[in-house]
Amino acid sequence: MTPGDGRPHPRRRPKGRHREGAAPGAWKPRAWDLDQHAEARRLAGQWPGWTVLYGTGSRCFYALTAWPVPEPLILRARTAAELEAALREESAALAARRQAPTMSGVWR
């Protein structure tokens, strides 16, 4: 046996799920940050004029307007409580500028 001839070294056992001669092992996707995703769904239900998401990679909560506005509006916060406070503040500001949605204009 020479290095690089494609055969495993006789003293080393092949490793991994895809080793030659072995059936592929069962794969189960991991669910990350379940509590945060549930919190984002809760916020989305409480704020029907907004699309609320949780980014697993960024570990941040996001809220996007679900109605037409002159400029895209995206809120970002590290916690659900921070996002909810930002939603209250921004919704009040939008209502003052008369850019808040009417219930007929909210998409579901």
Q: 18: helix, coil or strand?
A: coil
Q: Which pLDDT does position 14 carry in this prediction?
A: 56
| 100 in Cβ contact with 94 (< 8 Å) | yes
Domain membership of residue 93 as a residue range: 34-100
What is the reported pTM?
0.67
State pLDDT tens for residues 52-75: 999 999 999 999 999 888 888 999
Q: Report yes or no on 55 lying in a domain.
A: yes
State pLDDT tens for residues 74-94: 999 999 999 999 999 998 988
Residue 61 is classified by DSSP as E
| 97 in Cβ contact with 72 (< 8 Å) | no
Q: Which pLDDT does position 43 carry in this prediction?
A: 98
Q: Report yes or no on 105 lying in a domain.
A: no
Which pair of structure tokens corresponds to residue 58?
Answer: 């960024």
To the nearest whole number, what is the mean pLDDT of the chain? 83
Q: What is the rounded distance in angstroms from the CA atom of residue 16 to the CA atom of residue 63?
A: 41
Number of domains, the chain: 1
Q: Report yes or no on 19 lying in a domain.
A: no
Q: Report yes or no on 50 lying in a domain.
A: yes
Instruction: Say if residue 106's pLDDT is above 80.
Output: no
* Dihedral sign computed on CA atoms, order 3, 4, 7, 12: positive
Edge-to-edge order in the sheet of strand 74-77: 50-55, 60-65, 74-77
